[in-house]
Amino acid sequence: MTPTAAKGGELSLDIDAVPSMRTPPPGPRSRELLERMRASFYPGLTAGLAPFVVARKRGWAVEDVDGNVYLDLISGSASVPLGAGRDDLIEPAVEMLRRYGNEDSHGLASELMAPLAERLLAIAPPSLTRVDIALNGTEAIEIALKLMRRATGRQLVIAFFGSYHGESTMTATLGAERQDISSGLRQLSPGFVHVPYPNPYRSPFGDPRPGGSGDATIDDLRDHVLFHALDPRDVAGVVIEPIIGSGGVQIPPDGFWPALVELCREHGWLLCADEVKSGMGRTGTMFAVEHWGVEPDLMCLGKGIGGGVMPLGAVLGSERAMGGYDDVPTGSTWAWLPAACAAALATLDAFEHEPVLENVRALDARARETLGRLPERYPVVGDVRIKGCYMAVEFVADRETKQRAPELQEAVADECLRRGLLADSSTATYNLQPSLVMPVAALDRAVAILEQAIEAVLAREPAR
């Protein structure tokens, strides 16, 4: 069956055309398709679906099969960095599909592989000199874990509360965003030690102690975890989101980074940055580690590097992490599909020739003025955190106790959706992830809708 609703002219990106709602979602066609899906799909999939079915996308507009047009601040879970439907990214991929179809790039190399690896290394921190290929972010993390363990001969890996690394058995257990993601799996995939992330809004620690590392999280690791429980000689390294994304845009304080780098150096631990979501410009620099000048031993990429056109993942490594052995099998058949390499090369061209990062910084500045004032206006907004096009609103039942307010967040997200704003409410915060090229005026529209939604919910609950 071919899609029916995507008719008429091209989807308009005019500021008054996005969003535009014809019916409250789900409209009749969406309802029918979702009911059919509920009858035939795994219920865990259908339970998480938005209440509409997508017909087509362009830029930051998503049209459903009932003709509703939404303003998209999810951006394919940050996998569509430059807006949807860009011919300059799609055409090179289509050409390579015609020329190659797929080839298993672990056996037969395409002529796109060398240029893509070289261009990734050219924009990555100088510590990174080698590349391994992956299909997506999850696979990149799986590979990085194998390499860390092989390169050091040690098995334990330190990871952080609040972080998300994927949903395969190993990445789900490496992550610790919500306990249900790893439920039933931890005993199958041991070897991860979780410690608090340096989360300024919800830190379990006070200030760094006098004479300590300069950071309270690292003081705790040194004074408690490594003193009482963990022999550092058993630890291969640390995997960290440089800024936590899905878990609510948690931005470590500046003192954290030198203290972590020093701890790794002292014990010979490898530092692996998970830049699957924060990489490719999302936080205002090409990679989030650049905000602190950190040179990791490994860096995992995914999502945005395929330009929102094709799946692609990569692990970049230092000589120590990746250079000295060749006996760890990695990857899978579709990794670095030639068409995906072409989309990635075109995406890198766009970053090189267009003012993408400038626009991210303009959106960041505007968001600080608009989203940033929500805590003053609404006591239910406990915190707003912004780094480039990573934006999170944390709802609380009580400002003092910071008790989370998931029902309120859900109610606000529903009101936003009815008004045509799409953002991510699947986590403990309401996350807005605009396309990196979205105009500031569209962000203004999104924030105005969010404010209307909060007011609508508060009007229903006068006690707050």
- By CB under 6 A, name the binding residues for ligand PLP: 77, 136-138, 141, 164-166, 241, 245-246, 274, 276-277, 302-303
The structure tokens 């041991």 sit at 190
Residue at shortest CB range from ligand PLP: 137
| Shortest Å, Cβ 115 to ligand PLP | 23
**Cα(456)–Cα(176) distance, rounded to whole angstroms?**
33
CB of 141 or CB of 310, closer to ligand PLP: 141
Q: Supply the minimum distance, in Å, between the C-beta of residue 300 and ligand PLP.
A: 7
CB nearer to ligand PLP: give 34 or 276.
276
Q: Annotate 98-160 with DSSP letters as a single string.
A: HHHS---TTTS--TTHHHHHHHHHHHS-TT--EEEEESSHHHHHHHHHHHHHHHHS--EEEEE
CB of 166 to ligand PLP, least distance (A): 4
How far apart CA 239 and CA 219 sit, in angstroms, is 18
Cβ proximity to ligand PLP: between 136 and 435 the closer is 136
In the complex, the smallest distance separating the C-beta of residue 172 from ligand PLP, rounded to whole angstroms, is: 10
79 vs 359 by CB, closer to ligand PLP? 79
CA distance 409 to 404: 9
> In the complex with ligand PLP, which residue's Cβ is closer, 165 or 387?
165
CB of 351 to ligand PLP, least distance (A): 19
- Which residue from 272, 324, 317, 271 is spatially nearest to 151, judged by alpha carbons? 324
The one-letter code for the residue type at 460 is R
Closer of 185 and 456 to ligand PLP (Cβ): 185
Give me the amino acid identity at 454.
I
Q: What is the DSSP string of 194-245?
A: EE----TTS-SS-SPPTTS-SSHHHHHIIIIIIIII--GGGEEEEEE-SSBS
Give the shortest CB-279-to-ligand PLP separation in angstroms: 9
- In angstroms, the CA 140 to CA 148 distance is 12
Q: Give phi and psi for 203, each to the nearest 5.
A: -70, 135
